[in-house]
Structure 1
Amino acid sequence: MSSALLPPVRTLPPPGTHQRIGLFGGSFNPAHSGHLHVAETALKRLELDWIYWLPARGNPLKQAPAKFYDRVHQVRELIGHHPKMFVSDFEHWAGLRYTVDVLSHFTRHCPHARFVWLMGADSLQNFDDWKNWHQVAETLPICVVSRPNAGPRALRSTFAHRYATTRLRERDAARLPDMPAPSWVYLKAPFDWTSSTQLRSGAQKR
């Protein structure tokens, strides 16, 4: 797809917004249909106004990803002209590396927005390895979407145990953007079995 036909990169939401906005961070190395499945599930079930995809500059817990703007371009191709999704180059633009710092900037820039952090269940398994993970959990509500082979371990994770009393029932998911952190919900959804690891492995074998 020609880059001229792709949706524009939007770095930050409007500062005065009061909308319900999902922030979906990750390496997206590469972006694939499983990521889109997580985003679309959260968009619908949480009744969000927008989702901002936030490709990471780097991930200290994973191998070095592809070049930043190559991954931005992949996300743009994946979401196409979805009317409620944007890709943000904020981490690169601001020179940041850690989620806790990214969230601090977003919440200061948009103090009235109702942000939710989005992640697949596979990311929740090692969430406690993230820098200042408890601060992330206590900055924004978190929506976790089921992923293949990840659910049981995710729900036994350090995060899940520590914040067990703040978990919303799945049927109350639409309330999450209005809840104070720490609060979270686990959404079950039909699986998309695509994974970045498999895609990278397949590319290396060709």
Structure 2
Amino acid sequence: MRSGQPWAGQGQVVGLLGGSFDPAHAGHAHITREALRRFGLDQVWWLVSPGNPLKPDAPAALEARMARARGVMDHPAVRITDLEADLGTRYTAETLAALRTRMPALRFVWLMGADNLAQFHQWETWRAIFAQVPVGVLARPGQRMAALNSPAARCFAHARLRGDQMHGLGRSETPAWAFATIPMDHSSSSAIRAAGDWASRP
């Protein structure tokens, strides 16, 4: 792939953090470090997407977003990738299916913020995501109610891991998901774009 082939040892647990990263910021790095610690992950791969099907506006150029991401997230267990561009997938469920086919020796965990869980039922074939891989949700303080009362959370309430169980999320049978409240970080991609301190659109 164009960003270099990601690699992890056989049987390792790899968290996948997808998004436009338009632009990447300290908040993304913060939740990545928390995910590694809370969910017992061996690695996290950032999936810098060509575009977000739920967002009407095109993001900045992929190359610019990749470069920014590498500058923001410098950690030996984190890899910055453009996997979705390489795979030619558009939706998360498609990306997961392709990765599991290409890399069957790895165990994947889908990572997302609580704001995404709140509207997860709007994602394409969202139930298939829970069926394919465990899901790790990271929440800022104050985000719990909307996320935990969402259609997705209610649908899979029986599969939620709590307490010490969360550390074994990646080795749990699906469906399985965990919800971790983490310290606040106020960084915002939209605020950075609004301030004009970011790459121009293509």
> Residue 58 of structure 1 aligns to a residue in which SS?
coil
> Residue 186 of structure 1 aligns to a residue in which SS?
strand
Task: Count matched residues.
Answer: 195
Give 2:3's aligned residue. Answer: 9
In structure 1, the gaps of 5 or more residues are 1-7
Residues 1:128 and 2:121 aligned together: yes
The two structures, once aligned, show a CA RMSD in angstroms of: 1.7
| TM-score when normalising by structure 1 | 0.89
Shift of 1:9: 3.4
Between the aligned partners of 2:99 and 2:111, the Cα distance in structure 1 is 14
Between the aligned partners of 2:130 and 2:123, the Cα distance in structure 1 is 11
Match of 1:64 among 50, 58, 77: 58
> Residue 22 of structure 1 aligns to a residue in which SS?
strand
> Residue 61 of structure 1 aligns to a residue in which SS?
coil
Identity %: 38
Shift of 1:71: 1.0
Shift of 1:113: 1.3
Between the aligned partners of 1:11 and 1:134, the Cα distance in structure 2 is 29
Match of 2:154 among 138, 158, 161: 161
Give 1:88's aligned residue. Answer: 81
Give 2:72's aligned residue. Answer: 78
Shift of 1:171: 2.7
Shift of 1:161: 0.5
Between the aligned partners of 2:151 and 2:182, the Cα distance in structure 1 is 23
Structure 2 contact 141–183 (Cα < 8 Å) conserved: no
Match of 2:168 among 172, 175, 186: 175
Structure 1 residue runs of 4 or more that deviate by more than 4 Å after TM superposition: none
Instruction: Report 1:164-203 matches (<5 A).
Output: 164-203=157-196
Match of 1:34 among 18, 27, 30: 27
Between the aligned partners of 2:29 and 2:89, the Cα distance in structure 1 is 24
Q: Report Cα offsets for 1:100-127 as digits up to 9, x if no partner.
A: 1110111111212121111111111111
Between the aligned partners of 2:17 and 2:38, the Cα distance in structure 1 is 15
Shift of 1:148: 5.3
Structure 1 contact 122–147 (Cα < 8 Å) conserved: no
